[in-house]
């Protein structure tokens, strides 16, 4: 059957959310500089959503927008805006207002991965009949691997910029520098196990830590990450 020229479908994407809690543009500029200085490569050319729910005073949106863009971010939308006048300024500047749904916030890590698209260059095929998916090769930057309704085991290293997603547990017998998202279908009992933790992001059932939120004593070490009382927790494997 021939495909239609165009299709419009709902989908989900992982996104960074920049929460603004101070309207002072000098403070925003300084804070962004300090944050990006820590991990310049991680934030380079990153698409982000700007959350303005924490702003209460008069907001100079045009200046804030210029500051954010000057650091190489791509603003794809604004969330948390309840002020009708600010909404008008944001829309007039060419940036859309995003609806946040029931959760009242936008998670960087997604709870569902129903429409995962893997490019032909980065795709790794996984047999649907396997209960546990095993990858023995190096997972390179830009590769995305999804184990649907199953656990995922990687017996090699995971490069920065790579992404591992599983509806179940994820085991990495090597160093991991990419993103690791377990329990993608909402399974809060899922865990992440790795022997060398350097991840850009770890997530279980939508709860996540960025690299600067992972406790320093576990960086580069063997660890297991899990949910405890709905919050991410981490223990040593040794």
Give residue-wise pLDDT tens across range 163-172. 999 999 999 9
Q: Which pLDDT score is estimated for 50? A: 92
Reference 59, options 46, 68, 70; nearest CA is 68
Q: Give the start-to-end residue ranges of the domains of the chain.
A: 16-92, 132-236
Give the chain's residues under pLDDT 50.
101-129
Q: Which pLDDT score is estimated for 224? A: 96
Q: Which pLDDT score is estimated for 125? A: 46
Q: Which pLDDT score is estimated for 106? A: 36
Helix%, strand%, coil% for the chain, nearest 5: 20, 30, 50
Q: How far apart are CA 94 and CA 75, in angstroms?
A: 10
Reference 86, options 56, 115, 106; nearest CA is 56
Q: Which pLDDT score is estimated for 111? A: 38
Q: Which pLDDT score is estimated for 100? A: 56
| Sign of the dihedral through C-alpha 217, 220, 222, 224 | positive
The domain defined by 132-236 folds into: Pectate Lyase C-like (2.160.20)
Q: What percent of the chain has pLDDT over 90?
A: 39
What's the Cα-to-Cα distance from 62 to each of 48, 92, 94, rounded to whole Å?
Answer: 16, 10, 11
For 5, residues 6+ apart whose C-beta sits below 8 A from its C-beta are: none
**pLDDT tens-digit readout, 84-110:** 888 888 988 888 988 654 343 334 334
If phi > 0 it is left, if psi is from -120 to 50 it is alpha, else beta; for residue 137 that is beta
The domain defined by 16-92 folds into: Alpha-Beta Plaits (3.30.70)
């Amino acid at each position: 059957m021939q495909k239609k020229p165009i299709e419009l479908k709902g989908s989900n994407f992982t996104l960074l959310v920049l929460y603004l809690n101070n309207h002072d543009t000098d403070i925003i500029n300084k804070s962004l500089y300090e944050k990006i200085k820590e991990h310049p490569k991680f934030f380079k050319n990153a698409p982000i959503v700007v959350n303005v729910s924490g702003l209460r005073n008069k907001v100079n949106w045009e200046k804030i927008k210029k500051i954010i863009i000057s650091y190489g971010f791509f603003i794809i939308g604004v969330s948390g805006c309840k002020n009708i006048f600010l909404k008008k300024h944001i829309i007039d500047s060419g940036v859309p207002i995003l609806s946040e749904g029931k959760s009242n916030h936008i998670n960087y890590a997604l709870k569902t991965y129903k429409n995962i698209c893997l490019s032909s260059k980065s795709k790794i095929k996984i047999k649907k009949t396997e209960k546990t998916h095993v990858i023995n090769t190096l997972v390179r930057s830009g590769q995305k691997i999804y184990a649907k309704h199953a656990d995922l085991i990687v017996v090699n290293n995971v490069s920065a910029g790579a992404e591992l997603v599983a509806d179940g547990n994820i085991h990495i017998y090597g160093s991991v520098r990419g993103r690791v998202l377990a329990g993608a279908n909402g399974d809060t009992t899922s865990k992440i196990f790795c022997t060398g933790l350097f991840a850009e992001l770890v997530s279980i059932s939508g709860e996540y830590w960025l690299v600067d939120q992972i406790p320093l004593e576990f960086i580069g070490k063997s660890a297991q990450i899990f949910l405890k009382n709905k919050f991410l927790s981490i223990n040593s494997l040794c």
